[in-house]
Amino acid sequence: MTKPKTTQTTRRGALKTLALGGGAAATLPLWARYTSAQTAAPVKVGFQVHRTGIGAAYGRWYDRTTTAAAALINEQGGINGRPIEIVAEDDGTDPKRGAEVVEKFVSQHQCDVGFGTLFSHVVIGSAPRAGELKLPYFVVSEGHHVASGMLNRYTLQPGITDVKSQVQAMAPFVAENLGKKVTMIFPDFAFGHDHRDFFTAAIEAQGGEVLEHIAIPPTETSFTKYFPKIPRDTEVIYHVMVGPAVLTFVKELGEFFGPSRPEIFGFIDSLEAVDIASPGLEFLDGTYFWEGNPRYAQDNQSDYDAFFRARVGVDANGASISDPKDVSTYAHMFGCWETLHVIKAGMEAAGYQSAADRGKLIEAVEAIEEMPHSNAYPQGAKIFNGKTHQVFGHQYISKVVDGKLLLVHTTSIEDTLYPDEVDYTTQPL
């Protein structure tokens, strides 16, 4: 659908305000920031958060990031002159409960949008209900399920890139620098299957091959029994694990190989919320990780990353300012911050006032194209594809050096692009 020029202009204006990271509204006293709104009622964002279950570590930091982003947006005058209110519900990292939470957002809380879901099986279990209820559902998940066309027009992923784009951008680095005979270790659910399918295809495109796929139940607590499946001629172990036992996984991997190991390339999911300097992880020195956002502040740290860390309460090592042992999920949680700013930009472009404008909100977000590197988008510049409802951005590869992650490669956005698999804009609202 071709958008009216006025909508496009308004959208670009909203994005420019976000890029400036505050705007004039932030200088006004609190009583004056919301006087232009047609209603004093808050914009209610239903936050589907993994407080319990295997996603709890992510949920804790998604919560902190969301709270910080909402506070900043309210300091800047809210959304269309209305304060933003976060309505949080724990889904237990469970698909069935996820659908029930979406129902509550509409029937009990009268939320304007749903937001924040991470684990892919929960997204897949929840999105159909959001579509039925016509609730704009902004997920922060990484799974390819949105861009694949599996879901519906009311489900969008505008704040974090998906696995297909990530591994497509990573594979050339792995093949050129680490090796071409790969064994993959991944969780046995949708997110892990995305890695299995898309990295296998990506490494084969580089002239490599996957010798073995090792799928592990996401609730597993001991992993040594899986490692003998690794073929002897493996040149690279590719690992991506999630859940509360990730530290055990990485420690046992090191114990299994000892000093003579293949090259190792991991997704930082295997160490999110885990201190890399933990005893037993010394073998990781010299190994590589994908990071959605570098955990450690780099020498060329942007002012936007510094601003984001300060607002969320994260130090230069990626841990809580108040507790250096409380390590963040820094590679993922920026997606909550950025998605809330996308919601703000979309609502302002659509002139959103109530649930009756949800369709206008979807169309406004679909019209977004570029997201400039800014306080609103501190991870980096991005391109949004309104047809597939998926954002594309830079990816980062870091090397473990002396117990810290040192950024060694940044991909271009173009490295992450792939042909469209769906056009959600053709679906009715």
Containing 58, the helix (H) or strand (E) segment is helix 56-75
- pLDDT (0 to 100) of residue 259: 85
Sequence ranges of the chain with CATH classification 3.40.50.2300: 5-162+330-394+419-426, 163-298+398-407
C-alpha to C-alpha distance for 146 and 120, rounded to whole angstroms: 10
CA 284 to chain centroid, in Å, comes to 24
**Looking at this protein, which amino acid is placed at residue 379?**
Q
The three-state secondary structure class of 240 is: coil
C-alpha to C-alpha distance for 383 and 325, rounded to whole angstroms: 35
Containing 156, the helix (H) or strand (E) segment is strand 155-156
C-alpha to C-alpha distance for 271 and 404, rounded to whole angstroms: 12
Containing 385, the helix (H) or strand (E) segment is strand 382-385
C-alpha to C-alpha distance for 199 and 183, rounded to whole angstroms: 11
The structure tokens 């060329």 sit at 300
CA-nearest of 6, 5, 19 to 344 is: 19
**Residue 58 region by backbone torsions, left for phi larger than 0, else alpha for psi between -120 and 50, else beta:** alpha
- pLDDT (0 to 100) of residue 4: 33
Containing 363, the helix (H) or strand (E) segment is helix 358-366
N- to C-terminal Cα separation, the chain: 12
pTM above 0.75, yes or no: yes
Residues in CB range of 7: below 8 A, 6 or more apart: 349, 350, 363, 364, 367
Contact between 115 and 46 (Cβ < 8 Å): yes
Contact between 11 and 367 (Cβ < 8 Å): yes
The three-state secondary structure class of 236 is: strand
Class assignment of domain 5-162+330-394+419-426? alpha beta
- pLDDT (0 to 100) of residue 40: 79
pLDDT per residue rounded down to tens, the chain (429 residues): 333 333 343 444 444 444 444 444 444 444 444 445 567 799 999 999 999 999 999 999 999 999 999 999 999 999 999 999 999 999 999 999 999 999 999 999 999 999 999 999 999 999 999 999 999 999 999 999 999 999 999 999 999 999 999 999 999 999 999 999 999 999 999 999 999 999 999 999 999 999 999 999 988 999 999 999 999 999 999 999 988 889 999 999 999 998 889 999 999 999 999 999 899 899 999 999 999 999 999 999 999 999 999 999 999 999 999 999 999 999 999 999 999 999 999 999 999 999 999 999 999 999 999 999 999 999 999 999 999 999 999 999 999 999 999 999 999 999 999 999 999 999 999
Contact between 237 and 262 (Cβ < 8 Å): yes
Fold designation for 163-298+398-407: Rossmann fold (3.40.50)
CB-neighbour burial class of residue 35 (10 A; exposed 0-12, middle 13-18, buried 19+): exposed
Cross-strand partners of 327: 319
C-alpha to C-alpha distance for 117 and 138, rounded to whole angstroms: 8
CB-neighbour burial class of residue 396 (10 A; exposed 0-12, middle 13-18, buried 19+): buried
Residues in CB range of 416: below 8 A, 6 or more apart: 161, 165, 166, 168, 169, 392, 393, 394, 395
